[in-house]
């Protein structure tokens, strides 16, 4: 390993000087700078971030805690964060919490142990001590809190939009699939939908589910048709279960969208690939991740500043699991 000392020796200056050119601060003579630069080149030196981090009490790492990147919504958030962070010279330490508080705490500890300069988290537990006692710039992603800045999409509005769409397009007996109760955004969108459905002139029923896992999605879909065979409009808890519902509906010979309309949530990349392509409520996942990183980095710069949250708009993406026009 080549160290700053080697560079100093090679350039016949002190380590202090090398450090100064490295960090571009303090006075350095033009001559000297050049000498150092070439030494760096020749030795192919790159500074040890760990040593740097130790002294500065802060690395160039940011901690990112997500429920599960195996769920296609999250990789997009992650890429948004990573790309924006990278643009500012930061890298990400990734953790999957599986919505498990133990794992979450473990990761948080890891993050602080590694001197991350800030952290982005999609947690339902900001109120825990772990977070309270955290002395780090923090931004929530895909979650909200009054105590921290957050970047999230308007779930309530998304739920409303989904319901309104289905109603406008003539669904009469809608089934609302309720996501896991402990996942905040899931309940937001559920409430939004109920809000609209409750006021509207349609029958509706609710089916509760407890996970977003791929393996179970088909079971939920099956259960749904068993319980509500007469439904003609389904609001899925997310695109995964939306796609599973298409699958099951087709299997049962239902005509989509004539007989049965389906609307998903998230707009994960594969939703346009389903057949028929899934109508859905889009959350701008990549952009959300990007903004979260942006916000965090801002706060790293000026930690005192009063915090600001960003609510991203949701958007109806009309594809072919809903009808073209209002028709009964």
> Which residues are at the interface with DNA (CB under 7 A)?
1, 3-5, 12-17, 19-20, 22-23, 25-33, 47-48, 51-52, 54-57
Contacts for 253 with CB less than 8 Å, ≥ 6 apart: none
Partner touching 210 among a second copy, DNA, none, CB below 5 to 8 Å by kind: none
* Residues 217-246 interacting with a second copy (rule: CB under 8 A): 217-218, 240, 243-244, 246
Q: In what order do the strands lie in the sheet with 279-282?
A: 203-208, 173-178, 233-235, 261-266, 279-282, 315-317
Does the footprint of a second copy cover residue 54 (CB under 8 A)? yes
Question: How far apart are CB 133 and DNA at their closest, in Å?
Answer: 17
Kindly tell me which residue out of 4, 18, 28, 78 binds a second copy, with binding defined by CB under 8 A: 78
**Residue 25 interacts with, from a second copy, DNA, none (CB under 5-8 Å by kind):** DNA
Length of the chain: 328
Q: Cα separation of 131 and 202, whole Å? A: 43
Q: How far is CA 308 from the centre of its chain?
A: 18
Looking up tokens 């707009």, which residue turns up? Answer: 267
Report residue 213 CA to chain centroid gap. 17
Binding of residue 324 to a second copy (CB under 8 A): no
Cβ atoms of residues 174 and 197 within 8 Å: yes
Q: Which of 275, 301, 303, 311 binds a second copy (CB under 8 A)?
A: 275
Interaction between residue 200 and a second copy (CB under 8 A): no
- Cβ nearer to DNA, comparing 31 with 325: 31
What, of a second copy, DNA, none, does residue 181 touch, CB below 5 to 8 Å by kind? none
% helix, strand, coil for the chain, step of 5: 45, 15, 40
Q: What token pair was written down for 29? A: 């003579």
Q: Which of residues 108-147 bind a second copy (CB under 8 A)?
A: 109-110, 112-115
DSSP 273: G
Quote the longest CA-to-CA distance of the chain: 85
Query: Which residues of this protein are in contact with a second copy, per CB under 8 A?
Result: 1, 46-51, 53-54, 57, 59, 61, 68-70, 72, 75-76, 78-79, 82, 86, 91-96, 106-107, 109-110, 112-115, 214-215, 217-218, 240, 243-244, 246-247, 250-251, 269-270, 272-275, 277
């Amino acid at each position: 390993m080549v160290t700053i000392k080697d560079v100093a020796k090679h350039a016949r200056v002190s380590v202090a000087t090398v450090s100064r050119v490295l960090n571009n601060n303090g006075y350095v003579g033009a001559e000297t700078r050049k000498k150092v630069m070439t030494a760096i080149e020749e030795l192919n030196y790159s500074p040890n971030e760990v040593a740097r981090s130790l002294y500065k009490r802060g690395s160039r790492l940011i901690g990112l805690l997500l429920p599960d990147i195996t769920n296609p919504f999250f990789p997009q958030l992650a890429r948004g964060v990573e790309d924006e962070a990278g643009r500012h010279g930061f890298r990400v330490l990734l953790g999957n919490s599986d919505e498990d508080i133990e794992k979450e705490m473990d990761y948080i500890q890891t993050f602080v142990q590694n001197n991350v300069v800030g952290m982005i988290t999609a947690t339902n537990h900001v109120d825990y001590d772990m977070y309270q006692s955290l002395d780090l710039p923090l931004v929530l992603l895909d979650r909200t809190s009054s105590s921290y800045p957050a970047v999230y999409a308007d779930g309530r509005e998304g739920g409303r939009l989904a319901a309104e769409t289905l109603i406008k397009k003539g669904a009469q007996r809608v089934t609302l699939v309720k996501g896991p109760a402990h996942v905040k955004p899931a309940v937001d969108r559920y409430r939004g939908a109920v809000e609209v459905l409750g006021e509207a002139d349609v029958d509706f029923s609710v089916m509760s589910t407890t996970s977003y896992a791929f393996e179970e999605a088909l079971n939920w879909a099956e259960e749904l048709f068993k319980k509500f065979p007469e439904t003609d409009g389904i609001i899925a808890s997310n695109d995964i279960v939306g796609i599973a519902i298409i699958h099951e509906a087709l299997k049962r010979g239902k005509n989509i969208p004539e007989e049965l309309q389906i609307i998903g949530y998230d707009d994960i990349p594969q939703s346009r690939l389903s057949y028929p392509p899934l109508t859905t409520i889009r959350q701008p996942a990549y952009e959300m991740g990007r903004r979260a990183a942006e916000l965090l980095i801002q706060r790293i710069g000026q930690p005192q500043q009063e915090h600001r949250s960003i609510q991203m708009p949701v958007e109806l993406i009309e594809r072919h699991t809903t009808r073209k026009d209002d028709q009964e």
